[in-house]
Structure 1
């Protein structure tokens, strides 16, 4: 009976070691918080690329827009001090672990929703003039001289 007890305890220890913590990410991969921050920035870069493409009224082809977004992605990875290779390895690992990928995407959604809530309603009093005027004049954005948009600047330096 003593040998059976030792075998049972040894088996239990191996089972516990094999299972590990289901929420943990191995150290060689990007952790959930950092991965979610990277994906938030990439989502914003994608939206920015689409917005610039829409504002140019067809002057930018989809392939050019995709190349610009790739440049933004590389800048984002540089900001987070992550190599493309490490990001892809981590992203592939998360894809093979959907429960952890779900956690990351929930953080991404919460961050973007929080940012959207901070912007508020565009017609509120504290909104920029461009948005407040749209409630009265639908084409108000064309009536003001706005500075030209720089396609590289938004993702070069993050404010602390």
Structure 2
């Protein structure tokens, strides 16, 4: 009885030790995150892009998105089967997939912050170059001429 309990306990400990490991035939979490992020960008680009201001049928958009997907896989040096196998693994482990999506969201937020700051800087430079007053905190900043005090 003691032997059986010891073997059972040892087996349980070994099984728990592998709980956080990713199988060797599955992409690591960071690579999966990068591939999924690029695929999301490809999908948005493929579905939102207009061709010469004409409406594009959904079938053409789908074909374009699939083409972008294959280009993303080529870019990352993986096959469709490797991606499918890895995605199925992460789908079977929702806690890991949730972590990947949270990291993706954080990357997108950081990129958006950088892009917003670059756009603000460009807007300010253009406004200064054109001589147009810009609004700051709901007040117009005075021009250099209005700063001169005229005394009687």
Matched, 1:69 2:41: no
Q: Which residue of 2 aligns with 1:9?
A: 6
Equivalent of 2:36, from 36, 39, 52? 39
Structure 2: gaps of 5 or more residues? 127-131, 133-152
Q: Which runs of 4+ in 1 moved over 4 A?
A: 55-58, 127-130
- Please state if 1:112 is matched with 2:123: no
1:42/1:76 contact within 8 Å kept? yes
Q: Aligned partners of 1:76 and 1:56: how far apart in 2?
A: 25
Indicate the residue corresponding to 2:45 in structure 1: 48
How large is the RMSD of aligned CA atoms in angstroms?
Answer: 2.6
TM score, norm. by length of structure 2? 0.72
Contact 2:46 2:64 in 1 (8 A): yes
8 Å Cα contact 1:45/1:72 also seen in 2: yes
Structure 2 Cα separation of the partners of residues 30 and 92 of structure 1: 11
In 2, distance between residues paired with 1:101 and 1:81? Answer: 21
Aligned length: 127
Q: Secondary structure at the match of 1:125?
A: helix
